[in-house]
Structures are given as structure tokens and as C-alpha cells.
Amino acid sequence: MSNPISSIRPERLNWATAIVLIFFHLGAIAALFTFNWRAFGVAVLLYWMATGLGISMGYHRLLTHRSYRVPRLLEYFFATCGAMTLEGGPIFWVATHRVHHQHSDRTGDPHSPRDGAWWAHMGWILWGETNHSNTRFLSKYAPDLAKHRFYVWLNNYHWAPLAAVGVLLFAFGGLSVFLWAICFRVVFGLHATWLVNSATHMWGSRRFVTRDDSRNNWWVALISFGEGWHNNHHAHPTSARHGLAWYEFDPTWLQLKLLRRLGIAKSVHVARLDSELSERKVA
């Protein structure tokens, strides 16, 4: 079965993807010359919504691994936030990540450092197969999402939420807010996520013996809402908690604990570090 993103480098650069990434990176550089606290504050808020709620809580721990449940409308909200990262729609993201777990650091892994650190970080985006909107093909890896018309629509038009927010921010906030909350925020979020693909498979500690090269990396965890505790995650992929020790800061898990206490998040799978590590489901 072919993969949604191939680990074999095609001969040609994906020019459309490259041009978009160049535009956003130039915008991120331009943002540094237009700094003001208002623009920075909006960027931080959107970074939490898009990368924190959208990627970490939504695309990853909820949609990919189903480590907890929330009401359907909240699930859709998390997915919409995830689309604002420019990392593709939910079906594409989930399909790619499930393939990564299936073939982690082996032949077929979409983004393994064994194919080169640059390839794992962003080369796979620039030279890999472009299937972001090939919803029908990707659905075989995420059939649970393909059953929902909303996820199919969001995957086909994953750029729409970011475009809409960008237009509103430019119209009501001006160029500085646009550059910080759209360009800089998106670029920072992309590299934070890509570092989970690259850095946490090269640098850090290994608590668990896994068949891949996954590592726990504290500084990646700091900028990715706890996603940097990657060895913990690969050892227990369905656990909603990635930072298993008290000193492993995991903001996403803290938010999930709050949602669980409020009765919003249910069927929460939790891996714990006790005398023996066990994984259990908390209603």
C-alpha cells in the first residue's frame, strides 16, 4: 500500500508549496521590523489556538490517536483551529501521522531523520508527494474522519480558515498584526511541529525501549505544548498525557485535565509513571 507522503525524494521540487513557504517566511522576517505588543499578543493567542488547541489537542491527541472524547462541535472547532497552521487538513494530517507511527524510522516513514535531518524537518514537504487535498486517496488511512462531511470539506479547503482570519486581521488590525499573527505565527508553528518530526528523533533521552529513534526533548516540548515528550508518546501513543513525570511540562495535558474535571472530555486514556507504568482509561 502506498503512503500519503513518500519517503523517497522525487526529482522535482513542489513549486507551489515552496512559493507559499517562501512568502510566509519573508512575511515572518518582515514582522520583526514592525513589532508592537498588540500584534505580538494577537500572534500568541492565535498560536495557542492553532498549534495548541488545533494540532496538539485536536489533530494529534484527539483525531489521530483518539486518546479522549469531546462533544462533536468542540471536536470540529479543534480541527478548524488546526487548519489555521498551514499544515494541511485533518484527513491529510491524521493519515500522514498514522503512517509515521506504522513505519516509524523505517522504510515508509514519511519523515524520518534516517533519510536526513533536513528531509525529516521540511524536505518531505518540499519534495514529497503533494496529496494535501487528495481526500479520496487519504481517506483509506483515516476512514473514521472520511465519514464526516465536515472533515472532507475542511480537508479540501484547509486553506479557507487561515485565509478568512488573515483578511479580517489585515482589515481591522493592519499590516503589523497580519505579519505577526499570520506570517510569523504560522512559520513558528510549522517549525515547532517539524522539530517534533526531526529533533525528537535525533536528540534527547529515551525512557522506553521502542522500535524507533524517538526521544524526549524538553525544549521542543516547551514550544509545542508538550509534543516534545516523543519517546513517551511512541511508547504509549493512545495516552492523552505525554509528559509522564512531574517535571515534564505538558500544557495540553493540563488543559485536558481541566476539560475532564468540567465533564467535557471523557474516555481519557492516561499513561502514568508508577512503580510499573500502566495505562488506563478515565471516564
> What pLDDT does residue 103 have?
96
The answer to whether 106 and 83 are in contact (CB under 8 A) is no
For 12-16, the CB contacts below 8 A with 24+ separation are 12/127, 13/126, 13/127, 14/125, 14/126, 14/127, 14/128, 14/130, 16/130
Please state the pTM of the whole predicted model. Answer: 0.92
> 270: which strand partners?
280
Q: Look at phi and psi of residue 244 and say left if phi exceeds 0, alpha if psi is from -120 to 50, else beta.
A: alpha
pLDDT of the chain, 283 residues: tens digit per residue: 344 555 445 558 899 999 999 999 999 999 999 999 999 999 999 999 999 999 999 999 999 999 999 999 999 999 999 999 999 999 999 999 999 999 999 999 999 999 999 999 999 999 876 666 677 778 889 999 999 999 999 999 999 999 999 999 999 999 999 999 999 999 999 999 999 999 999 999 999 999 999 999 999 999 999 999 999 999 999 999 999 999 999 999 999 999 999 999 999 999 987 644 544 444 4
Domain parsing of the chain, residue ranges: 15-282
